[in-house]
A and B are shown apart, each in its own frame.
Chain A
Amino acid sequence: MNLILASLAVLLAGSTLCLLVPPGGKRAGILGPAIAVLGSVLGIVPALDAMVGAATWQASLPWVIPAGSLAVGMDALSGFFAFVILTVSALAAVYGHAYLSRTGTARRVSASWFMFNVLVGSMLLVVVARNAVLFLLAWELMSLASFFLVMFDGEKREVRRAGWIYLAATHFGTAFLLVLFGLLGIRSGTFDFSGFSALRPEPVFAGAAFILAVIGFGTKAGLVPLHVWLPEAHPAAPSHVSAVMSGVMIKTGIYGLLRFSTFLGAPMPWWGWTLMGAGVLSGLLGILSALAQRDMKRLLAFSSVENMGIVAMGLGFGFLGISRGSFALAFLGFAGALMHVFNHAVFKSLLFMGAGSVLHAAGTVQLDRLGGLSKSMPVTACAFMVGAAAICGLPPLNGFLGEFLLYRASLGAIAGSGAFAGMEGAGLVLLVSLAMVGGLAVACFTKVMGVVFLGEPRDGTAAQAHECPMAMRLPMMVLAAICLLAGISAVLLPGFVEPAVRCVVSGPDAVALAALSLPEGVFSWTAGAGATVLLAAAALYLLRNALLSRRRVDSAVTWDCGYAAPASRMQYTSSSFSAPIVRQFHAVVRTDTTATRLSGLFPSGASFSSEARDVWREHFYAPLFKLFTAMSARARGLQHGRLNLYILYIVLALVALLAWKLR
């Protein structure tokens, strides 16, 4: 407990130290990450303890905040999320040390580190808060800190736009949370979570509260259709901030959803279906939109929407299982979702760091201007490839584990239909969506990996790229190693998520869930098979080397239909690679194309460009906001600037009040 508080103190109080040093100096660039790493390392040990179920505590500190109390606590669920947050944040801080010192001007570095530390500290506070007011305070602090971090390059127009969209969206979500907390607070007479969990709300109240929680927390998690801010804000931020935001900050939405659903009594089937529906929608639309992107960081941000969709599918399946009394299936669903939360944090931050290194080396993240970077930056390319394979859920990497549990849940529902009545339908939905999303993810990430790192440079800047400094390579290597080691170590992992899963429901269901655990040795086969295949691949590669060692090995140009002078601009681009799939799903992802046609006998020039559009933003939010604007324009008639009429308003108001008082 003391270590967690110390960690919080270091992060939140220590962050102010960043403001004391010269804003653009070298000292800010060392002090900031040092505080973040120190704070994170302090917190990781107790978080790990709580995560494996060894230490849970609760404390109310003798300090009063308005209308709330400083109640903090730690259980396996908080520990799990705290562990994820702190691990990724520490690595991102190391990366950011080199990233910020090299990119752009040195200005505002100290302010950026101040906000970074506040962000990490507030995320930690969100997961340990045990009082609604404190939670909301931390939540708001987190949103504001990340808003200022996004605005780091605020002199660019598109960054400012992204920042404002983010600020509006995050407060949209917070508004729903405010109502939710108010309802719970009025009902229980206190804002402490202990009071909330003593509530036994009736179904209508619980249902309304659940909807509020899904909208409020779903906005933070980036579930479709509340995702529009995510692909704007995450790419606009500096890459280490994108890594933290996409890797861990959006997970606080998942945490909030899980934590608050424990206050709402036994889940109902429609909760599960709602979450599964949002999950399927996010998964499919997220990955399809990602495929259509040509900006590497935007693509990664859309893929976060997809992965949050997978998590939501698992949670939905879990709630459905609980409501139907199929606890074993529910356990698998929740465990798969939580496992995916951890895995996504690891590989998505790795991929964002990779994108940052590309930006740093080649000066752009436009896919169609890059190419062949694996020759100039081999470490980044290798780490990125591990991350790309992991995010596709391929064995033997960590991404496979969470999806494997979800597949097990769906197959269990289907194969054991007698035992789990009424779950086959949900199982089938989960199975088809996972398979579909998995296949499209392979398309999406082979595209990024292939277009950015393989082939020939498409552009002069890409040709002059160089490997990034050690402080940027090291975090990527660590994350890639976690991807691989988590994938082939079978013994530890179930113990990491099982205690957290036992916390996600309350009441009598919790007792049933507490008795369960993952199937004995659930990962031992997949890990064993993965390791065996890795060894076999290495052996075959050595065999190939041995076979070729004494023979003639020539190099030539790539076979291009016999064409002897292929140029790098002839390569397949990212747009052409994804065009068939995007066209196939044109109902949900649109691309605008502009082309000048060839004309005349000796055509002089032609051009072609395409741009992916966000259908939700254009066809749902734009009309909605237009409606709001129109409505408020009508109200503006009252504000016309004529003083005599304003005085009339005042007189009328006074007369009305007088009349009301005398009544």
Chain B
Amino acid sequence: MTAFHAVAMLSGLVLAPLLPGVINRTKAAFAGRSGQPVLQLYHDLIKLLRKGAVYSRTTTWVFRAAPAAGLACVSGALAFMPAASAPALASFGGDIVLVVYFLGLMRFLTVLSALDTGSSFEGMGASREVQFSALAEPALFVAVATLARVSGSESFAGLFAGLTPAAWMAYGPAFMVVLTVLFLVFLVENARIPVDDPNTHLELTMIHEVMILDYSGPDLAFVLYAASLKLWLLGAVIVNLAMSAAGVTGSLAFVGFLAAMMLLAIVVGVVESTMARLSLLKVPRMLVGAVALALLAFALAGRLSP
């Protein structure tokens, strides 16, 4: 392991808070506003880290420990994600499972901290979170398994290394379906429109935002930072797959990766500006659709194999 191996993870840790900024600027442009600075989240994080905190009297140590532990989980998961030509910090056969389960642990803690406040609104958000993620997880696994089937590897690093332009020529249609599924999972897991609206102001309709309502100060900084890292992590799965079609290597590929991440943020901004959110009852249908699409991609990959 050299310093070079840390590039992918470090770029994520440093640049992740940029993504929400880009998304918000895109939405502002659509709305005809000038919008908040692109670096707004960095300012927010620094401000929050300098503040004191207010805790609900109902809460216990679970509520206080969850943000730190959640941030550790998502950072741990990030260590296994390559960034195009920049290799992952660590990689082993089956790290796909570990990454998904670290996100699962983070969710477990977030949901518990929401229930720890005793608020019915936070309970509502927690209930929705576990419902939707129970369906998003199989979709993500099958989508990634489709890629594993083609590339013959069980780790994220090996997965993307095994996908070449030649593989895209053979399996293009299956990969396009996988990209769609990954994008849906990306939107669901990061609580974006059409599933959840990060800008909503009504607690009744929130999912992720309502679960963190009672956080303040450094805890809130951890929560917001962890959310942006998760956005980066799942975005990187999509971008790595898309980049593998281009077949570029070397530092050019890494630069391309960063540019593509920003492009992904713009796409999310466009989606959020042009779509309304789905009614909560329709979200499970969309997710079941995502699972079905993923199964279709898996079957397609089997049919297309030369």
B74-115 near A? 1/0 per residue, CB < 8 Å:
011001000000000010111111100110110110011011
**Given the contacts A407-B97, A536-B75, A552-B52, A568 and B112 also touching, CB distance less than 8 Å:** no
Task: Name the residue of chain B whose CB is nearest to the CB of A455.
Answer: B118
Which residues of B sit under 8 angstroms from A570, Cβ to Cβ? 120
A572 to B154, CA, bound (A): 40
B107-143 near A? 1/0 per residue, CB < 8 Å:
1100110111111111110111011011111101110
Question: A363 on the interface (CB 8 Å rule)?
Answer: no
Tell which of B108, B115, B130, B214 touches A455, judged by Cβ atoms closer than 8 Å. Answer: B115
Which residues of B sit under 8 angstroms from A432, Cβ to Cβ? 138, 141-142, 291, 295
Which residues of B sit under 8 angstroms from A392, Cβ to Cβ? 104, 108
Tell which of A443, A544, A547, A553 touches B55, judged by Cβ atoms closer than 8 Å. Answer: A553
B120 touches A560 (CB 8 A): yes
Question: A601 on the interface (CB 8 Å rule)?
Answer: no
**Given the contacts A408-B93, A417-B149, A577-B126, A558 and B214 also touching, CB distance less than 8 Å:** yes
A540 touches B112 (CB 8 A): no
Task: Name the residue of chain B whose CB is nearest to the CB of A287.
Answer: B134
A349 to B300, CA, bound (A): 44
A645 to B213, CA, bound (A): 82
Question: A112 on the interface (CB 8 Å rule)?
Answer: no
B111 touches A446 (CB 8 A): yes
B148 touches A375 (CB 8 A): no
Tell which of B102, B114, B302 touches A533, judged by Cβ atoms closer than 8 Å. Answer: B102
Of the stretches A150-158, A263-271, A296-304, A524-532, the one at the interface is A524-532
Which residues of A sit under 8 angstroms from B104, Cβ to Cβ? 392-394, 438-439, 442
Which residues of A sit under 8 angstroms from B180, Cβ to Cβ? none
A571 touches B120 (CB 8 A): yes
Of the stretches A170-178, A272-280, A508-516, A578-586, the one at the interface is A578-586
Classify the secondary structure of A's interface with B: helix
Tell which of A431, A439, A454 touches B142, judged by Cβ atoms closer than 8 Å. Answer: A431
Interface residues in A377-407 by Cβ distance below 8 A to B read 381, 385, 389, 392-395, 400, 403-404, 407
A393 to B115, CA, bound (A): 20
Q: How far is the CB of B77 from chain A (nearest CB, A)?
A: 9
B145 touches A411 (CB 8 A): yes
* Residues of B in contact, count (CB < 8 Å): 85
Question: A372 on the interface (CB 8 Å rule)?
Answer: yes
Which residues of B sit under 8 angstroms from A560, Cβ to Cβ? 119-121
B111 touches A544 (CB 8 A): no
Task: Name the residue of chain A whose CB is nearest to the CB of B97.
Answer: A407
Which residues of A sit under 8 angstroms from B61, Cβ to Cβ? 374
Question: A244 on the interface (CB 8 Å rule)?
Answer: no
Tell which of A372, A449, A543 touches B118, judged by Cβ atoms closer than 8 Å. Answer: A372
A543-569 near B? 1/0 per residue, CB < 8 Å:
110011001111111111100001010
A558 touches B95 (CB 8 A): no
A580 to B285, CA, bound (A): 13
Question: A140 on the interface (CB 8 Å rule)?
Answer: no
Task: Name the residue of chain B whose CB is nearest to the CB of A456.
Answer: B118
Question: A412 on the interface (CB 8 Å rule)?
Answer: yes
Question: B271 on the interface (CB 8 Å rule)?
Answer: no
Task: Name the residue of chain B whose CB is nearest to the CB of A582.
Answer: B131
Classify the secondary structure of B's interface with A: helix
The residue in B59, B71, B123, B151 that gathers the most chain A C-beta atoms within 10 A of its C-beta is B123
A455 to B135, CA, bound (A): 27
A406-427 near B? 1/0 per residue, CB < 8 Å:
0110111011111000001001
Which residues of B sit under 8 angstroms from A436, Cβ to Cβ? 134, 137-138
B153 touches A415 (CB 8 A): yes
Question: A428 on the interface (CB 8 Å rule)?
Answer: yes
Q: How far is the CB of B104 from chain A (nearest CB, A)?
A: 6
Question: B13 on the interface (CB 8 Å rule)?
Answer: no
Q: How far is the CB of B137 from chain A (nearest CB, A)?
A: 4
Which residues of B sit under 8 angstroms from A558, Cβ to Cβ? 56-59, 117-119, 122, 214
Question: A541 on the interface (CB 8 Å rule)?
Answer: yes
Which residues of A sit under 8 angstroms from B296, Cβ to Cβ? none
A544 touches B68 (CB 8 A): yes
Tell which of A424, A454, A584 touches B60, judged by Cβ atoms closer than 8 Å. Answer: A454
Which residues of A sit under 8 angstroms from B118, Cβ to Cβ? 371-372, 454-456, 558, 566, 568, 571
A282 to B71, CA, bound (A): 34
The residue in A410, A432, A451 that gathers the most chain B C-beta atoms within 10 A of its C-beta is A432
A443 to B79, CA, bound (A): 27
Question: A519 on the interface (CB 8 Å rule)?
Answer: yes
**Given the contacts A392-B104, A411-B96, A372 and B72 also touching, CB distance less than 8 Å:** no
B279-306 near A? 1/0 per residue, CB < 8 Å:
0000010000001000100100010010
A519 touches B93 (CB 8 A): yes
A414 touches B145 (CB 8 A): yes
Question: A440 on the interface (CB 8 Å rule)?
Answer: yes
B60 touches A577 (CB 8 A): no
A443 touches B54 (CB 8 A): no
Which residues of A sit under 8 angstroms from B203, Cβ to Cβ? 561
Q: How far is the CB of A255 from chain B (nearest CB, A)?
A: 28
A553 touches B116 (CB 8 A): no
Question: A654 on the interface (CB 8 Å rule)?
Answer: no
The residue in B130, B149, B153 that gathers the most chain A C-beta atoms within 10 A of its C-beta is B130
Q: How far is the CB of A442 from chain B (nearest CB, A)?
A: 6
Interface residues in A111-128 by Cβ distance below 8 A to B read none
Which residues of A sit under 8 angstroms from B92, Cβ to Cβ? 525
Question: A450 on the interface (CB 8 Å rule)?
Answer: yes
Question: A6 on the interface (CB 8 Å rule)?
Answer: no
Of the stretches B4-12, B215-223, B240-248, B260-268, the one at the interface is B215-223
Question: A168 on the interface (CB 8 Å rule)?
Answer: no
A180 to B101, CA, bound (A): 42
- 12 sampled A-B residue pairs with Cβ under 8 A: A418-B152, A432-B138, A439-B138, A443-B134, A456-B58, A525-B90, A525-B95, A537-B65, A553-B53, A558-B57, A559-B214, A581-B130
Q: A456-B118, A557-B57 are in contact. List 16 more A-B contacts (CB 8 A).
A: A411-B94, A414-B149, A435-B140, A442-B108, A443-B134, A446-B115, A450-B126, A455-B58, A526-B94, A537-B69, A555-B54, A558-B59, A566-B119, A571-B118, A571-B120, A572-B126
**Closest A-B pairs by Cβ, 7 of them:** A572-B123, A450-B115, A439-B134, A455-B118, A540-B68, A443-B130, A551-B52
